[in-house]
Amino acid sequence: MMKDDRLSQFRDAHSDRSSAEQVPDTAQTRAPAYRLAFADPDFMLRDELRPVRLQLELLKPELILNERGIESTVVLFGGARIPEPANKASARTETLADLSRYYDEARKFARLITEKSMATYGRELVVATGGGPGVMEAGNRGAADAGGASIGLNIVLPHEQAPNEYVTPGLCFNFHYFAIRKMHFLMRAKAICVFPGGFGTLDETFEALTLIQTDRMNKVPFLLFGEAFWRSIINWEALSEAGTISAEDLELFRFVETAEEAIEAIDTWPAS
């Protein structure tokens, strides 16, 4: 972490924590009440401290990304269960096996966009994924193929989801709160690419579309990979015909099939 010299007149928290750990062992110093509040895990995990934890979870990635000079991202959403084509024989359904081609498209797209990013010294258009397997792995892997950095925004799940091996270690974050994680996905996003996926992918997709629709977020290139898949699970036109969305809302996104189509769509997207 970068040191803030403006605060150098005061004794820093690291020093006090070290001193507090070296005090004599007495009944008083062993009592939980004596622990420094910020160094007391039991205290920090109390229900009443949830607002503080929310703030910390917002601040930690923000500070680190700022320190790394990352100015904008390209976000890849997509299913954790979509296998690499070489492993599609182990897919639980024929549909998943067929969707494995999007692993390769996500990997290729991430490589191409990272090559663009590296022309700006890696500060713009940095690939950001959920840091897990499937499409997320493909995105981080493609960035690594190009020799660039990528971001992984992982989350603690009941069934452990370890980050994939291709996320840049210093840009691999772990979250407790889904809401804060989704904020970090979108805070720097200059483009959003969504690959086939399940509930999590749908949640991320519709939250982002809602923010754009309601002008709470700037319009950015919003690409759905796999038109047949998306039309099979969502009747987009029915929403417009029913009047629950406007016809113009169908122009907030485009369907693409390949990495090359996606790059062209981003390059030619109308300015908002």
Mind listing the pLDDT tens digit for each residue in 179-212? 999 999 999 999 999 999 999 999 999 999 999 9
| Total-model pTM | 0.92
The percent of residues in the chain predicted with pLDDT above 90, rounded, is 88
Residue 272 has pLDDT above 80, yes or no: no
pLDDT band at residue 20 under the 50/70/90 scheme: confident
The percent of residues in the chain predicted with pLDDT above 70, rounded, is 97
**8 Å CB contact between 223 and 262:** yes
Complete domains list, the chain, with CATH: 24-67 (no CATH), 70-268 (3.40.50.450)
pLDDT value for 159: 78
